[in-house]
């Protein structure tokens, strides 16, 4: 299942990417262009009730909660998603690109020295080039996801 999140749902989009879902997010898209993403087979996620009735009901989810973590639970529950832990952290949270694993040698000079010496496994976004490593941020996020979704 692939998604497109409206401009009010940037944090939700990042969370969905964290758990491995292909999620487009633009903060400057017109309503028409946003709605058109449903034609590409994406489920639209929106807080904008003006869009009610403008797209088939099964292609859009109206998000009620203000809290991004609750929003994530809402989407998982409403759509019956089954997040797979082996898909977590396979996408770039910034741009939705797919992460590829790279050798430490490939990222030398591109991450802080103390990070480079402490890790042997890195991932790089194939789209924007951002480099990720299994540092505290990911560990904390993995825990949060576990607590939130029970996975």
Q: Give me the least distance between CB of 93 and Zn ion, in Å please.
A: 8
**x-or-dash pattern for Zn ion, window 35-74, by CB under 5 A?**
----------------------------------------
Quick one: which segment of 19-27, 30-38, 85-93, 108-116 binds Zn ion (CB under 5 A)?
Answer: 85-93
Mask for 120-149, x = binds Zn ion (CB under 5 A): -----x-xx-x-------------------
Name the nearest CA neighbour of 107 among 119, 95, 91.
Answer: 119
CB 138 within 8 A of CB 115: no
Choose among 93, 102, 142, 139: nearest CA to 122. Answer: 102
97 binds Zn ion (CB under 5 A): yes
10 counts as binding Zn ion under rule CB under 5 A: no
Contact between 95 and Zn ion (CB under 5 A)? yes
How many Cβ atoms from other residues are within 10 Å of residue 40's Cβ? Answer: 9
Q: How far apart are CA 143 and CA 104, in angstroms?
A: 25
Edge-to-edge strand ranges of the sheet holding 42-46: 23-25, 2-5, 42-46, 60-62
Residues near Zn ion, by CB under 5 A = 92, 94-95, 97, 125, 127-128, 130
């Amino acid at each position: 299942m692939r998604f497109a999140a409206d401009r009010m749902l940037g944090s939700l989009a990042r969370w969905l990417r964290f758990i491995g879902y292909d999620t487009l997010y633009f903060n400057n898209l017109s309503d028409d262009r946003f709605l058109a993403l449903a034609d590409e087979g994406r489920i639209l996620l929106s807080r904008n009730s003006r869009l009610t009735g403008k797209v088939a009901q099964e292609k859009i989810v109206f998000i009620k909660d203000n809290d991004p973590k609750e929003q994530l639970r809402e989407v998982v529950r409403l759509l019956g998603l089954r997040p797979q832990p082996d898909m977590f952290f396979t996408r770039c949270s910034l741009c939705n690109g797919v992460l590829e694993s790279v050798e430490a040698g490939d990222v030398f000079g591109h991450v802080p020295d103390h990070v480079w010496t402490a890790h042997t496994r890195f991932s790089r976004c194939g789209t924007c080039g951002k480099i990720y490593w299994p540092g505290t941020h990911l560990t904390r996020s993995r825990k949060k996801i576990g607590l939130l979704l029970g996975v």
